[in-house]
Structure 1
Amino acid sequence: MNDHLLQLSPEPLWRHFRTLCNTPRPSGHEQRLVETLTAWADERGLAHERDAAGNLKIRKPASPGCEELPGVILQGHLDMVAQANADHPHDFTRDALDTYVEDGWLHARETTLGADNGMGVAAALAILEDDTLRHGPLEALFTLEEEASMRGALELDEGWLQGRYLLNLDSEDRGQVYIGCAGGADVVVGARLPTRDLGEDEIVRRVALTGLVGGHSGIDIHKGRGNANRLLVRVLRALEPFGACLVAYHGGTLRNALPREAFASIALPADEEDAVTQRLAELEAELASELAGVDEDVQLTLESAETDAPLTEAASRLLIAALHVAPCGVERMSVEVPGVVETSNNLGVVKLEAGRFHLCALVRSLRDSATRDLADRFRALFSLIGAETRVENAYPGWTPDPESTLLARFRRLHLEQTGVDPDVKVIHAGLECGILGGKYPHLEMISFGPLIRGAHSPAERVELDSVGEFWQVLRAVIEDLATARAA
């Protein structure tokens, strides 16, 4: 499948990306891909090993005469975000992606593409098989579960990597190089809330909020896009005067993706259904007006739903109120790095089933202290409704080093290869560099990649021309680091 990718240039990179598209690899299900890559390494006579966490490292010896030069680590993550449109059946643990080219961009039909971080992984594999390159010792580090928890990087063995320079290939902007990133933490809230019997005069209906664009909860958090959980909770607040009471709720699927859809089952007096329908139409128009130019297709619908026990009136009101005031979106912009979000939160996953409430939010910040503080605000808020809050998978930010010699070399080479001096950036997203730098403080690191848009959503796409440019610059950097000046 995806044979058309073999006609694209640079051929080695696209050939490996085809393998990634044909091999299911959602977070936590990377084993099949690891087996494919280790078999490929064996065929090429490349040494490989895995650490205790399951991360994969493939090594290639230096070119003759370059054995004593500092080593280069090519780093990316094997997993991808698994998002499909609601009406599109796709099993990310079994099905290959269905890709197509349109107007100079590669897309996947109705699903995420996995260019994040499949482009970086494919580029590293293509470098390993390129015998025309002159290079020092090479290590390709492929981590696990980056999109779900950063577990691969967090549990990476110390003392396992030998290189001095690390090229993280997990950025998504053409003509830019990243030298710093936000840290983050998952905030998980759980509670058992009281329910009651459904009244004789009550019916159960499902309110659906759909049609949002979604996107990456770090890169896109400042763009004003709707968060389905935030918006549906607002709708539920507006329906409370009609006697609406929560029965069930399902919103979002990943804590690091802006939720595009959310669904709430509510109990309401049967004689209020027409009034609720009218109010939903008013709210849809209100939201469409507010989101004009950003989320043009937001929709609110009222549908039939399975009958089940609603929360008590007090529990429903408390839960909706807590969700309504929970931090969501940009909390603070950076003063030190103008134009960059400093601290944010994404209400990624919210569920309520049979009185069992679950929330998973992702807090990000360039300041680790701000990450801790925002997580603590969740703990304080949800303690008021008797919920328990825990913080998981915390990872540090990556402190920028604008004086890095690796950065200086990259800027020179990028200008030589493309005619453009790259913008030096700090990203409000969780690159693994912060974690890796904590374990290997001697590393000099930069992050760069091709132009990817719509990551973490079915709108994900990668610009074909930028892939060729990315490949050209990557090869130039590796060959430059193999010169005497790298000693």
Structure 2
Amino acid sequence: MSQLSQLAPQPLWQWFEKICAIPRPSKHEAALSQFIQDWAKSRGLTVIEDATGNLIIRKPATAGMEDRKGVVIQAHMDMVPQANADKVHDFTKDPIEAWVDGDWVKANGTTLGADNGIGMSSALAILESTDIAHGPLEVLLTIDEEAGMTGAFGLQAGVLQGDILINTDSEQEGEIYMGCAGGVDASFTLPLVKQATASNAQAFTLTISGLKGGHSGVNIHLGRGNANKLLARFLFDHADDLGLALSNITGGSLRNAIPREAQATITVAADKADALALAVSDYQAVLRQELAVADADVKFSLSPVALPAEQFDAATQTQLLAVLHACPNGVIRMSDEVVGVTETSLNLGVITTNSDNIVVLCLIRSLIDSGRDNVCSQLAALGKLAKAEVKFSGAYPGWKPDNNSEVMAIVRDTYQDIYHKEPVIMVIHAGLECGLFKEPYPTMDMVSIGPTIRYPHSPDEQVNITTVGQYWELLLAVLKRIPVKA
């Protein structure tokens, strides 16, 4: 990773190299938090850890800018822990193996954590600097953004002193975000009843793999395959004609990542084994044709395994496959107000088989509350039909755009002055924390910017080096232009 510290801008990349060395999956940010607190105190900075675990670090204005409006630069500390199936990596212990590939920084078989590590690095680099001009400055680093926005939910009124918040969690250079989707988690829980497996059956593992996955908000409109849905489709279509019996099914690992892999252990009568193999081959051909553009490397494979002692009983299997196959997934509706932006979506993210039940986790996103509520009611109706328990939790609001935002105008004009082109003012179909910050800080003016990050929430995640430099240049120029506080 010594390559990283040689990249420009060096202050930012040197911080990112340090961050990559400290494990920080969601809910395991303590080591990084302590490192940052120790560093901030050694620099004489005011640092506060609130009751939730968020960090607030304050730095006085540089000389001559004491009268400017206060700015909060905000990022989240945690990262999404995703690894390829053949990669051995403990996200709670092992550093991220980042490397440079041309104009991109990537990771070796895992998520990179550029989301939101680059934004965090920029904030810490500004805190460390002695030659960057800025008014009164606070850095807010939240916890657990990726797994529930716990930090944003826990932020209390009166802690922040700033007038303007710059969120650094956007992922496309040249776009300025002034609004985002809200969301809610949904779970189906089905009781699991088992019965003995027929002794003359044969057992196989069905595996969907090779998919790109990605961020369930940013990438949901790209038509990528959802491993859970693709596996459920095959099982639903062939359970009866081939007499398939499920013994286990798992898929995905995070409700906010499009699942790349899913597996099912099945049993089938010996005289149906050849028909099963043919059906698997035919289905792979269908998927490769359907996903030729969005997910050309999809693979559907069959491998023999030892015969399990038990399998799902008929009622359990019927209910489960009905839920999985009928559950909406992907884009539900595109926005009428913001052209090209998804309004409402659902990601069927995780399937887990436990000893006495099966749990299916979904994430619903929407720019409007009524769109979110409509999908929730559809899932509730599906749960009634399938006799499954459906629960909704962790609802968070969207961030309503403000066309009169002063800081948005400053960022827009600054970008145009630097690059001599208009930036794109956008609303993002992802859960930026700004929507939650608006509750305790309703008058705070907010905007979100960032470099280009491709394939976040997947092991293909990569950040463009040139755009990191552009983001850094824009951020520093914006800090210089913050107006005097009335």
CA distance in 1, matches of 2:199, 2:6: 65
Match of 2:336 in 1: 335
Letter in 1 for 2:186: V
Alignment correspondent of 1:258: 258
Distance 1:165 1:389 in 2: 39
Tell me what 1:236 maps to.
235
Question: Any conservation in 1 of the 2:319–2:387 contact (CA below 8 Å)?
Answer: no
Cα pair 2:186 2:392 within 8 Å, conserved: yes
Runs of 4+ in 1 over 3 A off after TM superposition: none
Secondary structure in 2 matching 1:196: strand
What SS is found at the alignment partner of 1:29? coil
Checking the alignment, whether the CA contact within 8 Å between 2:74 and 2:123 is kept in structure 1 is yes
Task: Name the CA distance, whole Å, in 1 between partners of 2:370 and 2:143.
Answer: 27
- 2:481 maps to a residue whose letter is D
Given that 2:322 and 2:386 are in contact with CA atoms closer than 8 Å, whether structure 1 keeps it comes out as no
Query: What is the letter of the counterpart of residue 413 of structure 2?
Result: R
Whichever residue aligns with residue 137 of structure 2, its letter is: L
Q: In the alignment, is the contact (CA less than 8 A) between 1:248 and 1:354 conserved in 2?
A: no
| Structure 1 segment 172-191 matched on structure 2, within 5 A | 172-191=171-190
CA contact (8 A) 1:52 1:157 kept: no
**Corresponding residue of 2:282:** 282
* Preserved CA contact (<8 Å) 2:252 2:261: yes
Describe the superposition over 1:173-192 as per-residue Cα deviations: whole angstroms up to 9, x where unpaired. 01110000000011022121
Match status 1:249 vs 2:287: no
- Residue type at the aligned position of 1:434: G
C-alpha deviation, 1:170, in angstroms: 0.3
The Cα of 1:231 is off from its aligned counterpart by 0.4
CA contact (8 A) 1:244 1:266 kept: yes
- Aligned pairs (5 A) from 1:401-412: 401-412=402-413
Q: How does 1:97-176 map to 2 (within 5 A)?
A: 97-176=96-175
Q: With structure 2 as the length reference, what TM-score do the two structures score?
A: 0.98
Are the counterparts in 1 of residues 4 and 100 from structure 2 also a CA contact under 8 Å? no
SS in 2 for 1:277: helix
Q: What residue in structure 2 maps to residue 92 of structure 1?
A: 91
Instruction: Give the TM-score normalised by structure 1.
Output: 0.97
1:448-463 equivalent positions in 2, closer than 5 A: 448-463=449-464
Counterpart-to-counterpart distance in 1, 2:421 and 2:66: 32
Q: Aligned pair in 2 of structure 1 residues 166, 438: CA closer, same or farther (>3 Å)?
A: same
Residue identity opposite 2:348 in structure 1: L
Residue aligning to 2:38 = 39
Distance 1:251 1:308, change over 3 A: farther
| SS state at 1:171 partner | coil
CA distance, structure 2, for counterparts of residue 377 and residue 355 of structure 1? 26
Secondary structure at 1:374 match in 2: helix
Deviation at 1:345, TM superposition (A): 0.1
**Cα distance in 1, alignment partners of residues 7 and 102 from structure 2:** 14
Equivalent-residue separation in structure 2 for 1:420 and 1:128 (angstroms) = 30
Determine the structure 2 residue equivalent to 1:368: 369
- Counterparts of 2:184 and 2:59 in 1: how far apart (Å)? 35
Provide the rounded CA distance (Å) in 2 between the counterparts of 1:396 and 1:279. 44
1:384-463 to 2 correspondences below 5 Å: 384-463=385-464
1:355, CA displacement in angstroms? 4.7
Deviation at 1:34, TM superposition (A): 0.3
Shift of 1:417: 1.7
Instruction: Please report how far the alpha carbon of residue 438 of structure 1 lies from its aligned counterpart in structure 2 after TM superposition.
Output: 1.8
Contact 1:46 1:59 in 2 (8 A): yes
Matched length: 484
Gaps of 5+ in 2: none
Alignment-mate amino acid for residue 403 of structure 2: P
2:95 aligned counterpart, secondary structure? coil
2:188 and 2:45 map into 1 onto residues whose CA distance is 45
- Asked if structure 2 preserves the Cα contact closer than 8 Å seen for 1:149 and 1:393, the reply is yes
Partner in structure 2 of residue 466 of structure 1:
467
Cα RMSD for the two superposed structures: 1.2
Report the Cα distance in structure 1 between the residues aligned to 2:203 and 2:379, rounded to whole angstroms.
30
Q: Structure 1: how far apart are the matches of 2:160 and 2:67? A: 16
Letter in 2 for 1:132: D
Task: Report the CA distance between 1:136 and its aligned residue.
Answer: 1.5
Measure the CA separation in 2 of the matches of 1:304 and 1:383.
36
CA distance in 1: counterparts of 2:26 and 2:282, whole angstroms:
40
Paired with 1:457 and 1:175, the residues of 2 have a C-alpha distance of 23
Once the two structures are superposed, what CA deviation does each residue of 1:42-92 show, in whole Å capped at 9, x if it has no partner?
121111011111101110012234334321000000000000000110000
**Structure 1 CA distance for aligned equivalents of residues 206 and 273 of structure 2:** 12
The one-letter code matched in structure 1 to 2:443 is H
Pairing 1:296–2:271 present: no
SS of 1:81's equivalent in the other structure is coil
Identity between Structure 1 and Structure 2 (%):
45
Deviates more, 1:3-12 or 1:302-311: 302-311
Aligned-partner SS, 2:207: strand
Larger CA deviation: 42-51 vs 129-138? 129-138
Stretch moving more, 145-154 or 308-317? 308-317
Greater alpha carbon shift after TM alignment, 125-134 vs 332-341 = 125-134
Contact 1:209 1:301 (8 Å CA) reproduced: yes
Task: Give the Å deviation of 1:102.
Answer: 1.0
Secondary structure of the 2:133 match is coil
Tell me, in whole angstroms, the C-alpha distance in 2 between the residues paired with 1:63 and 1:143: 25
The amino acid across from 2:30 in the alignment is Q
Q: C-alpha offsets along residues 11-44 of structure 1, whole Å, 9 cap, x if unaligned?
A: 1000100011101000000000001101110121
* Cα shift at 1:203: 2.3
- Deviation of the 1:313 alpha carbon: 1.8
Between 470-479 and 385-394, the greater mean CA deviation after superposition: 385-394
